[in-house]
Amino acid sequence: MRAIIVGAGIAGLVTARQLGLAGWEVDVVEQSPGPRDAGYMMDFFGPGVAASERIGLYPRLADVAYPVEAAEYVDSAGKATAMLDYERFSRAAGGRVLTLLRPDMELAARDALDDVPAGRVRLHYARRPTGYRDGGGVVSVSLPGTEPSTLEADVLIGADGIHSAVRGSLFGPEADYLRPLGMRAAAYIADEPALAARLGRRFVLTDSLDRTVGLYGLRTGQVATFMVYREQAIAADGIDVDAPTRLRRNFAGLGPEVDRMLELCPPDPYDDVVAQVVMPGWHRERTILVGDACSAVSLVAGQGGSLAIAGGALLGDLLGPVRARDDIPAVLAGFEREWRPVIEAAQASGRRAVWMFLPETVRQQRVRRWVLRAATLPVVNAIVARQIVKSIAS
């Protein structure tokens, strides 16, 4: 059996590995020239933990995880206003929380392809398909290049993220499915050893309205930064300026450490809308979407990487045993039936967490501080931590 997967992100790579292990021939087509090093720290908890243990990926993820002692909110003078103890956070999430960089998670998934017999999973970087077809019992993808070619397979898997081209081509326009949450997010990593050392094992987040910056020091002496801001509060020149200029205009003044990181912003940081993807159906004939392409929960839900792993593993494991083309549509329907309730629950809790992630009013900001402080009291700790577990940086 043959599969074409579009997108070598976390969901695409995990699906490819599971299919390869089950004996499928898999072509993975990725538009970027190689693995990308953009992205921020992500908390890894929820369904991805059990799934990665089941498929043997968990030890690779644990190897590249970072120790985090606390998430600390600070004012513009650097004074702590609230804190979340990560050990408590971890206990509330069942004791299995890893914190790792998005690119490290992607790399772990790619390295795990080594478990598949050589040649069965082929990665094609720097190829952005120009067309997708699903009909007559076969799927095909047109590839550009000096020698344009067409790949054919039994199933097409769109794992190409929130702006999925597979979805756009075979399911309908992005505007029908993308549900923006009114925010944009940016992330990048820059060399700043002195700041990395000062941050130690803490996430430092600005306690600010309508915008927030998170900083974490990496073992390489670099600092990982994320910046999230409400679209309605974007400075007057809107989004029609290049990302570094826009970030400097919107995040200056939140403290000297943020100002320093703004100076170090690269020309092409990760920079995108914060959105969920909500679709009435994830599959048609022999095409299925997986990961953010059909079911993005957004960074406010804090489980994007975990759900990408769990969803990819489930899809791979359900399709893996299939040996007859005609069985494919029913298996795709079965995947959606099993996985959709998990996604819908995560999306709903993400939407509820928006105010906690990015307060809009002074009252919301105060309530967040109170909630975080209350979380240090043993009695309320477990209940409160369970709530905030879903709303802290991903």
- Report the interface residues with ligand FAD, using CB under 6 A: 6-12, 29-32, 36, 38-40, 42, 102, 128-129, 159-161, 165, 187, 226, 270, 291-292, 299, 304-305, 308, 394
Residue labelled with tokens 């060399």: 191
Beta strands in the chain (DSSP E): 2-6, 25-29, 41-44, 70-74, 80-85, 98-101, 121-124, 131-135, 138-143, 149-153, 155-158, 178-191, 202-206, 211-217, 222-230, 270-277, 283-284, 287-289
**Alpha carbon distance 258, 204 (integer Å):** 10
321: phi > 0 → left, psi -120 to 50 → alpha, else beta; which?
A: alpha
Which residue, 90 or 295, is less far from ligand FAD as judged by CB?
Answer: 295
Which residue, 273 or 374, is less far from ligand FAD as judged by CB?
Answer: 273
Is 332 buried (19+), middle (13-18) or exposed (0-12) by CB count in 10 A?
buried
Residue type, 112: A
Sign of the torsion angle spanned by Cα atoms 372, 377, 381, 384: negative
Cβ atoms of 112 and 15 within 8 Å: the answer is no
Sign of the torsion angle spanned by Cα atoms 162, 394, 304, 220: positive
Which residue, 257 or 292, is less far from ligand FAD as judged by CB?
Answer: 292
**Least distance (Å) between residue 312 CB and ligand FAD:** 8
Which residue, 269 or 359, is less far from ligand FAD as judged by CB?
Answer: 269
**Alpha carbon distance 180, 195 (integer Å):** 33
**Least distance (Å) between residue 370 CB and ligand FAD:** 26
**Least distance (Å) between residue 277 CB and ligand FAD:** 10
Residue type, 125: Y
Which residue, 121 or 165, is less far from ligand FAD as judged by CB?
Answer: 165
**Least distance (Å) between residue 373 CB and ligand FAD:** 26
Which residue, 278 or 367, is less far from ligand FAD as judged by CB?
Answer: 278
**Alpha carbon distance 278, 240 (integer Å):** 27
**Least distance (Å) between residue 180 CB and ligand FAD:** 15
**Least distance (Å) between residue 187 CB and ligand FAD:** 4
Cross-strand partners of 152 = 140
Which residue, 281 or 321, is less far from ligand FAD as judged by CB?
Answer: 281
**Least distance (Å) between residue 40 CB and ligand FAD:** 3
**Least distance (Å) between residue 313 CB and ligand FAD:** 12
Which residue, 52 or 394, is less far from ligand FAD as judged by CB?
Answer: 394
What is the DSSP annotation of 320-387?
TT--SGGGHHHHHHHHHHHHHHHHHHHHHHHHHTHHHHS--SHHHHHHHHHHHHHTTSHHHHHHHHHH
Residue in 316, 340, 322, 243 with CA at minimum distance from that of residue 10: 316
Which residue, 2 or 124, is less far from ligand FAD as judged by CB?
Answer: 124
**Least distance (Å) between residue 27 CB and ligand FAD:** 12
**Least distance (Å) between residue 251 CB and ligand FAD:** 15
- Report CA-CA distances (Å) from 348 to 120, 123, 130, 154: 38, 35, 35, 34
Which residue, 30 or 134, is less far from ligand FAD as judged by CB?
Answer: 30
